[in-house]
Amino acid sequence: MNGSPARSGAALIWSDRWRLGALNRQELMNIGFVSVIIGFLYVLYHLLGNTVENVESASAFEWMISRWGDKQSFGADYSHGYLIPFVSLAVVWYKREEFFAAPKRVCLWGLGVIVMALAFHWLGAKMQQTRISLISLIMLIWGIPFYFFGWQVAKLLIFPCAYLIFCVPLNFLDALSGPLQHMATGMAHSMLGGLGIDCERVGTQLISPYFQLNVEAPCSGLRSLLAMTALTAVYAYFTQGNLAKKWVLFLSSIPIAVAGNIGRIISIALVSITAGQQFGTGLHHDWSGYVLFTVAISLMVGFGKLLNVNYRELFSTWKETYLNHS
């Protein structure tokens, strides 16, 4: 008799073949070798990963996690970093059958990637740039399987490994906060003027008889931009058929996120006019970000659907229908 669906599902997760006593000598040696590699990475990045002065921990991981929750700097914009490793692992699990089916052989190009990654880590330590060391870790996570299993496995790992870059707080992105503030303020000022609402722009402030809004750094839209690009990257990876469409959808997340932030500023102004500034810059300000982010996600999904439409087939169908009714 066939097993129940529950037992069949459990078999996909666990197999008696994976018991320690069922493994042969070669498999045990492979497990030991992998354990040595993991231990080496632990020493290299947890015990010798951070050389920044005036920082208590030498761990690159602790430095990175502290930046995710640092509300005094750009790091607060990386609060989504906690989810990124789990997304990468989920992609690997989703593609597990392709990993098992891929042909495997040692590839010396992978050894070149490993050497380059170690050089990057050394450079990051010398420059006291933990971000460079973290990027070198991502290169090692990709390069080690590349060396031992070859290009076919490495190709499947490109996206889940590259996606880990969203974990790394990149300080140069903080420079975008100022320009985003001014752009959002300027466009919101123009659109409010187009709606017939008289207001004055002073730097990053919008002032009218009914409200006074200051578009500060946390409201620049950088946080939603980073979160939106991270979300769109994985959505595009799974929904788009070719690389060009994936990149088009991924890049579209930038104007979508910027437009969503501008829409949020305008909505705060309109609510302040109708319901009072205390409500507009208080409760509505605190919750409008979630609403606008939901709208941004809807736009992302809608644009992804449009990219997947077969316009040639659609035009042929329309043409045939038009001719039949003529």
DSSP string, 133-152: HHHHHHHHHHHHHHHHH-HH
Q: Which helix (H) or strand (E) holds 270?
A: helix 243-275
What confidence score (pLDDT) does residue 53 get?
61
43-81 burial, b for 16+ CB within 10 Å, e for fewer?
ebbeeebbbeeeeeeebbbbbbbebbeeeeebbbbbebb
Domain positions in the chain are 18-169, 174-314
DSSP label at residue 314: H
What confidence score (pLDDT) does residue 95 get?
92
Q: In whole angstroms, what is the distance from residue 321 CA to residue 326 CA?
A: 9
- Give tens-digit pLDDT for 96-143: 999 999 998 988 999 999 999 999 999 988 888 888 999 999 999 999
What confidence score (pLDDT) does residue 16 get?
59
How many DSSP H helices and E strands does the chain contain?
14, 3
Q: In whole angstroms, what is the distance from residue 152 CA to residue 103 CA?
A: 7
DSSP label at residue 211: -
Kindly state the tokens that stand for 194. 């187009």
Q: Would you say 299 and 256 are in contact if contact means Cβ atoms under 8 Å apart? A: yes
Chain-centroid distance of CA 315 in Å reads: 36
pTM above 0.85, yes or no: no
DSSP string, 89-158: HHHHHHTHHHHHHS-----HHHHHHHHHHHHHHHHHHHHT-HHHHHHHHHHHHHHHHHHHH-HHHHHHHH
What is the band of 18 on the pLDDT scale with cuts at 50, 70, 90? low
Average pLDDT of the residues of the chain:
82
CA distances 244 to 155, 247, 294, 299, Å, are: 17, 5, 25, 19
What confidence score (pLDDT) does residue 300 get?
92
**Greater confidence, 225 or 70?**
225
What confidence score (pLDDT) does residue 75 get?
45
CA torsion angle 147 151 155 157 (round to 10): -20
Q: Would you say 87 and 163 are in contact if contact means Cβ atoms under 8 Å apart? A: yes
Q: To the nearest whole percent, how much of the chain has pLDDT over 90?
A: 29
Q: In whole angstroms, what is the distance from residue 262 CA to residue 220 CA?
A: 9
